[in-house]
Amino acid sequence: MENMKGLRVLITGGSSGLGAEIARQLSREGCRVAISGRRREKLAKTASEVRQAGGECLELLGDVTNLAQVKSQYAQLKTRWGGLDWAILNAGVSDSRSAREFSAENYRWTFDTNVGGVVNWIEAVIPDMLAQESGAIAAVSSLAGYRGLPQSGAYCASKAALTTLLESTRIDLAGTGVDVVTICPGFVKSEMTDRNEKSQMPFLLETADGAKRMIDGIKARRRVVHFPLPLSLTVIYFLHNLPDFFYEWFAARFIKRKKKPYVDESKAQN
């Protein structure tokens, strides 16, 4: 069993939702947490909650899509703690669009964040983790990566790409002491899902519950962490294995993806 006291943990996307809750829960277990995000005020709010509860929190303001910023954030963290034990690469975006309003820019932005943000951080942390022969890289993908959902092409494709790249990375790093954990949640309350209609999110979990399942999966070093069970079984064993023509018929009629548009608050805050 890993000793959580003093464990050095980075959480990207720590300014809201799952990332902020993971930071609060891990700090209660005695971990030192570093949180990254673009919204200064939200990042400061999470950090102050962690400190008020007696924890240690390092705020790393910046954008995961910018490799120079990511490397400079990692340098700050290394100066403070000497290195890192867990990298929880959680930052992500979703702005659902129908292919009838196809936007290459929307795809680029989604991939830059959901895939590019993870690979930037992996490049930053991996040399030191390999040198110390220990560490966990846990990245947050999604059950949405298993099939193309209506009006979610960019998001689903980005999460499918992420799941696949993590699988390859895990195989390459086997035996080095660095573990790779892929996290595939269903629906969890957060700013992202606040923009969805509730009726479209079966088995919606509370944020604290989702964050705990993610932490437990990393502690257990599960290769792939799926939750909640009923939605995971439906997606992985039913929808994923349906013949294409039947899946597309089913998805067009029964999967609704109405969502309020994403508003980038970071531009107004900084």
Ligand X SMILES: NC(=O)c1ccc[n+]([C@@H]2O[C@H](COP(=O)([O-])OP(=O)(O)OC[C@H]3O[C@@H](n4cnc5c(N)ncnc54)[C@H](OP(=O)(O)O)[C@@H]3O)[C@@H](O)[C@H]2O)c1
Residues 53-92: x where in contact with ligand X by CB under 6 A, - otherwise, as a string: ----------xxx------------------------xxx
Q: How far apart are CA 28 and CA 16, in angstroms?
A: 17
Residues 110-139: x where in contact with ligand X by CB under 6 A, - otherwise, as a string: ---x---x----------------------
- 20 vs 173, which CB is nearer to ligand X? 20
Q: Binding of ligand X at residue 15 (CB under 6 A)?
A: yes
- 13 vs 153, which CB is nearer to ligand X? 13
Q: Binding of ligand X at residue 145 (CB under 6 A)?
A: no
- The CA distances from residue 112 to 65, 109, 150, in Å, are 6, 5, 21
* Catalytic site includes residue 155: yes
Residues in the chain, overall count: 270
- 56 vs 191, which CB is nearer to ligand X? 191
Q: How far apart are CA 222 and CA 216, in angstroms?
A: 9
Kindly tell me which residue out of 129, 149, 160, 188 binds ligand X, with binding defined by CB under 6 A.
Answer: 188
> Which is the catalytic residue, given 74, 107, 146, 155?
155
- DSSP readout, 95-148? ----GGG--HHHHHHHHIIIIIHHHHHHHHHHHHHHHHT-EEEEEE--GGGSS-
Residue with tokens 């830059």: 112
Neighbouring-strand partners of residue 56: 32
Q: How far apart are CA 243 and CA 228, in angstroms?
A: 24
Q: How far apart are CA 20 and CA 24, in angstroms?
A: 6
Residues 199-238: x where in contact with ligand X by CB under 6 A, - otherwise, as a string: ----------------------------------------
Stretch that binds ligand X, among 7-15, 24-32, 218-226, 233-241 (CB under 6 A): 7-15
Of 162, 180, 168, nearest in space to 125 by CA: 180
Q: Binding of ligand X at residue 24 (CB under 6 A)?
A: no
Q: Which residues are catalytic?
A: 155
Residues that bind ligand X (CB under 6 A): 12-13, 15-19, 36-39, 42, 63-65, 90-94, 113, 117, 140, 142, 185, 187-188, 190-193, 266
